[in-house]
Amino acid sequence: MLWAASLVHWKGANLALDAHARLGAHASPMRLCYLPAAGTEDADSLPEPAPSGVTYHRDPRDLDAIRASCDVFVHTSLRPEPFGRSVLEAMAAGLCVVVPDDMSSELVRHGETGLVYGARDVDALTEALRVATTDHELAWALGEAAARHSVELGARAEAFAPVMAWLGRSQT
């Protein structure tokens, strides 16, 4: 299982850690990769030492290799993001993605290209992670569908419209 993002308070690393802990003995190992962000939540806010079954990777240079060693990608942003680049990268890598329901449905469709849970709901995230890590056939199928969908999204300009709008640029 992989969580990767900048370590700012609205990225929800602690939500992912809480859900992972609730899985108990059935939890798959989690690799939490983060980029420290100056002036915001820092690694000091993560429990030390890392909880059982969790490995921290600060500013990893080998994120692609780490991603390749995982089957599930969990995204826990605590506020809506118009476009999830890390999610798209995980989809392209064929991982089963688990995302909050306030993310664009164009990116991930529940049960078709990933699993969607109730945003900021640790119980819903825990259940989605339980499904993703115990139903291996489903996770594999969702990862395969996600990889195909990411190619379609990458080829379509409208997939990038939310990020372009957020940047205040028009598509040309």
pLDDT tens, per residue, the chain with 172 residues:
999 887 777 788 999 999 999 999 888 999 999 887 665 555 557 888 899 999 999 889 998 899 999 999 999 988 777 667 788 889 999 999 999 998 877 789 999 999 999 999 999 999 999 999 999 999 999 999 999 998 887 655 555 555 555 555 444 4
Q: What is the CATH number of the domain that holds 88?
A: 3.40.50.2000
On whether residue 172 sits in a domain, the answer given is: no
Total number of domains constituting the chain: 1
Measured in whole angstroms, how far is the alpha carbon of residue 110 from the centre of its chain? 14
Cα angle 157, 81, 78 (rounded to 5 degrees) comes to 160
Domain that holds residue 150: 2-167
Residue 158 placed within a domain: yes
